[in-house]
Amino acid sequence: MQLDSRAESLWQTIVEQGLVDTHFHVGPEMVPRKYDVLTLAEAARNIDATIVLKCHTWPTTPIASLARLQLGVRFLGSVVLNQCVGGMNPEAVRAAVTGNHTDLQQAQASDPPAVIWMPTVHAGAHMRFHGGGTFDARWLGCGGGEFEALANETVEPVEAFDSQGRPLPETLDVLDAILESGSTLATGHLDARETIDLADLAVERGIERIIITHPHYPCTDLSDPQLQELASKPGVWLEHCMAIHTLENVPLERFAASIKATGPERVLLASDFGQVQSESFPEGNRSLLGKLIPLLEDEINDEDIVAMFTRNCRKALGLPETSVQ
């Protein structure tokens, strides 16, 4: 994307300060992906970026650790609590964290915290929104019958709350495992009420970093007043992702309105890319910047725009405020 002079200048500042993408999909997994850890590392190294590696089906902590050690890139690992790892399973959290050590012999203080996502494609709210299916065929990019069939996959939904809105015991166990490990909680594909209630629970239990995953994703669909409420809670961050615009057709005007409503101080701007048809890294982040700036209408200053791609993201992930290690 061609940027105007202001956007290009801001992009250069973002790169200099250290771009952070809190949400990027890698493969191989059950759907086609644009990158594996090696090819993404090559792209990230070119601009010295920090990236959270996400996969709907398996923990990325070991490959992120290996990439840090062998390739010298700033990758953070994660696990998504879908049925592939046993659903709302505290042992999946603990197992993922054991793979998060950069050193093969022992944990180190410099190991970055892992990210623990609530269920995504197997979340009850996600499956109900998609009529009982899991993977949305629009995500696939290159088609193919074996992948199209995933849209009708039969699997038991993973729930965080019971039908009365009470947290399930396993949800509390997962939150305790996140707290014990010092990991970052991300809310996944829960619905609006579940997301708010989960954030409240996490704060009550002492979790220090909570990322509200793409709040305008259709099955979540948080309102601006709800986002204002969430942003007022300690340690809660709001993650707006380019893919919710490109794949879900949510207008970027809605992103801009939300940022103006909540202020930029707790906002993260990420791509949620890695789909075959999505822009390459870091072009997706660069495009998000270029398209969002005019919509913010000078209500958000340049320093805060840069922070939403850099400093805010590092704070939300428990990293040092500068990219220098």
Q: Which domains does the chain show, CATH number per domain?
A: 5-317 (3.20.20.140)
pLDDT of 139: 52
DSSP 84-142: GGTSS-HHHHHHHHHTT-SSSSS--TTSPPPEEEPPSTTBHHHHHHTTT--S-GGG-SS
Question: Per residue in 275-301, pLDDT tens?
Answer: 999 999 999 999 999 999 999 988 999
Distance CA 188, CA 210 (A): 11
Distance CA 300, CA 303 (A): 8
Q: What is the CA radius of gyration of the chain?
A: 18
How many other C-beta atoms are found inside a 10 Å radius of the C-beta of residue 172? 15
- Say whether pLDDT at 203 is over 90: yes
Pick the range with the lowest mean pLDDT from 15-29, 111-125, 130-144. Answer: 130-144
Those residues whose C-beta lies under 8 Å from the C-beta of residue 106, and which sit 6 or more positions away, are none
Arithmetic mean of pLDDT, 228-250? 97
pLDDT of 135: 59
Distance CA 203, CA 266 (A): 15
pLDDT of 299: 95
Q: How confident is the model at residue 54 (pLDDT cuts 50, 70, 90)?
A: very high
The whole-angstrom distance between residue 209's C-alpha and the CA centroid of its chain comes to: 13
Amino acid at 73: V
With contact defined as beta carbons under 8 Å apart, do 165 and 193 qualify? Answer: yes
- Say whether pLDDT at 31 is over 90: no
Torsion of CA 168, 84, 110, 24, to 10 degrees: -110
Q: Which of 35, 44, 60, 39 is nearest to 112 (CA)?
A: 60
pLDDT of 107: 76
pLDDT of 145: 46
Looking at per-residue pLDDT, the higher value among 3 and 271 belongs to 271
pLDDT of 146: 45
Q: How confident is the model at residue 142 (pLDDT cuts 50, 70, 90)?
A: very low
Q: How confident is the model at residue 138 (pLDDT cuts 50, 70, 90)?
A: low
Give me the chain's average pLDDT, please.
92
Q: How confident is the model at residue 325 (pLDDT cuts 50, 70, 90)?
A: very low
- Say whether pLDDT at 201 is over 80: yes
- Say whether pLDDT at 189 is over 50: yes
Those residues whose C-beta lies under 8 Å from the C-beta of residue 322, and which sit 6 or more positions away, are 17, 18, 314
